[in-house]
Every structure is written in C-alpha cells, then in structure tokens.
C-alpha cells in the first residue's frame, strides 16, 4: 500500500528535545481542538462518518473516539501519578494489570 494513503501526514518523527516554546505551543492548541473537530465533522452524514478513509483504515467515528480515549487515558494516568505519591499504585505490575483489564485487543 502506498505510504501516502497509510500515513497522509507523513511518518511519525519524534522530537529529540522539548523546549518551553514547543511545549507552550502544544498547550495553546488544546482549547481549540474540540471546536475544530466539531467544525470539520458536523456536516458529515452517517455513511461518511462510518467509511474508512482507506482499506484497513479507521473511520472518522473511530478516530474521534480514539481522541477521546487517549485524552481520558492521559487524565487517568496523570491522576494515578499523583496518587502514586501516596502509595495507591505501589508497583508497576499492579498498575499495568489494572490498565490491561480495561483494554481490549
């Protein structure tokens, strides 16, 4: 399969260094994400929302749900990190087992 269709915005390239300016830029984008997502999806009908953009790719509905899942997982992990300071999740094994119980492969 053509990489252009599989990775329409290109392959992931990790940042080698996070500067304060880069971090601030990412943080500044957060408030507008929901509005932008709503603007690009509100005019779509069910068939469009449930059609993959390529063979084997995700539908728009799946991508939107993935964003919500990702944000919720980040929120939960942040809360867990805070509670870890007081011993709630005392071992990595317990934390990973807890997380795996909510995941379906």
* Domain extent for 47: 3-100
- pLDDT value of residue 2: 75
- If one counts the domains in the chain, the total is 1
Q: Distance between CA atoms of 32 and 34, rounded to whole angstroms?
A: 6
- pLDDT at residue 6, as a whole number: 78
Asked, for residue 34, whether it belongs to a domain, the answer is: yes
Q: What is the pLDDT of residue 105?
A: 54
Contact (CB, 8 A) for 60 and 48: yes
Regions of the chain where pLDDT drops below 50: none
Any idea what DSSP says for residue 16?
A: S
pLDDT value of position 37: 94
Any domain includes 105: no
Q: Using CA atoms, how far apart are residues 84 and 24, in angstroms rounded to an integer?
A: 26
Q: Give residue 58's pLDDT.
A: 92
Distance CA 102, CA 43 (A): 33
Query: Does 68 map to a domain?
Result: yes
- What tokens does 23 get? 């971090």
* Domain CATH number, residue 71: 1.20.120.450
């Amino acid at each position: 399969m053509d990489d252009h269709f599989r990775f329409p915005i290109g392959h992931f390239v990790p940042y080698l260094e996070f500067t304060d300016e880069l971090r601030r830029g990412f943080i500044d984008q957060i408030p507008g994400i929901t509005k932008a997502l709503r603007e690009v999806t509100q005019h779509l009908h069910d068939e469009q929302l449930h059609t993959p953009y390529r063979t084997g790719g995700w539908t728009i509905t799946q991508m939107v749900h993935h964003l919500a899942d990702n944000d919720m997982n980040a929120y939960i992990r942040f809360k867990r990190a805070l509670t870890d300071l007081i011993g709630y999740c005392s071992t990595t094994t317990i934390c990973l087992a807890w997380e795996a119980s909510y995941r379906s492969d």
